Structure 1
Amino acid sequence: MAVFKNGPNGSFSGKVGSVVGYKWKGLDVIRGLPRKSSKPRSEARLANEQAMKVIMEALKPLTVFIRTSFRNVADPLNMSAFNLALSLNKKQALKGEYPNLEIDWSKFRTSQGDLPGAEAVNARWTDSGLHVSWCDNTGAEKAYGTDRLSILVYSHALGIWQNFLNETTRDAQECILPAKENWIGTDIEVFLTFMSFGSELVSDSVHIHVRLP
């Protein structure tokens, strides 16, 4: 059942026939219900479904972070931050051919924005954990030494993310991320994102791959 908010000529909320009305980001939106098809799915459709699944599985554990890290770019497009991250990475961060699609981590992005990102990034395993260093580019347009750094780490061996949110600041130039024994020395992908105080500004993520010693 649908409810008309402003009479018969107004917007509605709920299901009417094959469409659903709802409010999203202050807008009244109508979408059609999915239709079942008896036709066999084409290889192109199967490839698209696999691409969506691969990117979705990588991004889903980062949902809370992505709500902030893509928000400033997504809002003017009337998109959710997660849908923008999904669309962007699906377009640029896949490699291989169906049914062997996989993520191209060098093109995978965990944030997007205009704030200057990390430069001259280096990462290596130590006995204490992961040592990460970068160049202090304070003074570049919009960049401050107090910008907060978040580091996201994906372990191939464990198939999970470890997130170090607001770990340090731009001017610190280095940090050591603690890791459990089963993390140290594993093959990992590392992503660095700077955010201004209050997260009004966000940088593009910067990626570095750390290989097995």
Structure 2
Amino acid sequence: MGIQHWGAFGGFQGKAGALVGHWTNGQNVITAIPHPSQNPPTVPQLNVRAKFRTVIGFSRRLTSLIRVGYQNAHKEKQSAFNAAFVDNYANAVTGIAPNYLIDYPNFAYSKGQLSNGYNAEVVTAIADTVQFTWLGTLATGIGGPTDMATLVVYNPVKDQLVTLVGAAARSALTYSMLVPGDFSGDDVHCWISFVSANGKVTSDSFYVGEFTVV
């Protein structure tokens, strides 16, 4: 049953006959109830679906980071997550169809004008620890010592993400991030990004590299 919230000539939410009303990006949208095609999908269609699932499957696990990281990088009627999806669908998928994989060096969860961690590096000399380091240089000229680092570590063997928002101020120049003990011996992918102290300005996420946890 569709419920009309905005008067006789307004939109509605829910199902009404052959129509469905829903609220999307500040607008009430009314669409027909979708009917599944009776034709089997073509190979190109299956490949598109496989690529879509690959990007969505990885991105959705970073939804909270993407909402912040892409807050200023999406169009008026587009969500932050959708903007990140478009970028990663175009730039961060590798492999031969339909066996797609995420291209980690090109994956982005943040996009903005704030300076990133200049010359960011990772050291894994201590057990169960991924140590991030960076310089205080402002490559884009935007930012300050109170900007906060967001750190991401992904272990593809365990299919496990470890994230830390507000790990350290830019001025700290380093942060030692603890990871699960069973990461020992596994290769992990690492990213870093920065958010202004008021949470309103973000940097691009930066892929630091692939490292082996000791």
Paired residue type of 1:66: I
**Deviating more after overlay: 28-37 vs 191-200:** 28-37
The alpha-carbon deviation at position 139 of structure 1 amounts to 8.2
For residues 109-188 of structure 1, the aligned pairs below 5 Å read: 109-128=108-127, 129-138=129-138, 140-188=140-188
Q: Which amino acid aligns with 1:97?
A: I
Letter of the 1:80 counterpart: S
1: CA distance between counterparts of 2:135 and 2:185?
Answer: 24
- Distance (whole Å) between structure 1 residues aligned to residue 13 and residue 140 of structure 2: 48
1:125/1:184 contact within 8 Å kept: no
The alpha-carbon deviation at position 135 of structure 1 amounts to 1.7
| Structure 1 alignment gaps of length 5 or more | none
Matched residues in 2 for 1:123 and 1:14: separation? 50
CA distance in 2, matches of 1:139, 1:99: 39
CA gap of 1:195–1:15, structure 2 versus 1, over 3 A, is: same
Query: Is the 8 Å Cα contact of residues 121 and 132 (structure 1) preserved in structure 2?
Result: yes
Please name the residue that 2:196 is paired with: 196
Is 1:59–2:59 an aligned residue pair?
Answer: yes
| Runs of 4+ deviating beyond 4 Å | none
RMSD across aligned C-alpha pairs, in angstroms? Answer: 1.9
2:49 alignment counterpart: 49
| TM-superposed deviation, 1:138 | 4.1
- Contact 1:130 1:184 (8 Å CA) reproduced: no
**TM-score (structure 1 length as normaliser):** 0.90
Task: Decide whether aligned partners of structure 1 residues 5 and 31 sit closer, same or farther in structure 2, where only a CA change above 3 A counts.
Answer: same
Determine if the alignment matches structure 1 residue 83 to structure 2 residue 82. Answer: yes
Q: Which residue of 2 aligns with 1:210?
A: 210
CA distance in 2 between counterparts of 1:59 and 1:7 reads: 39
| Count of paired positions | 212
Match of 1:13 in 2: 13
- CA, structure 1 residues 106+140, in 2 after alignment: closer, same or farther (shift >3 Å)? closer
Q: 1:147 to 1:41 in 2, by over 3 A?
A: same
Q: What code does the residue aligned with 1:47 have?
A: N
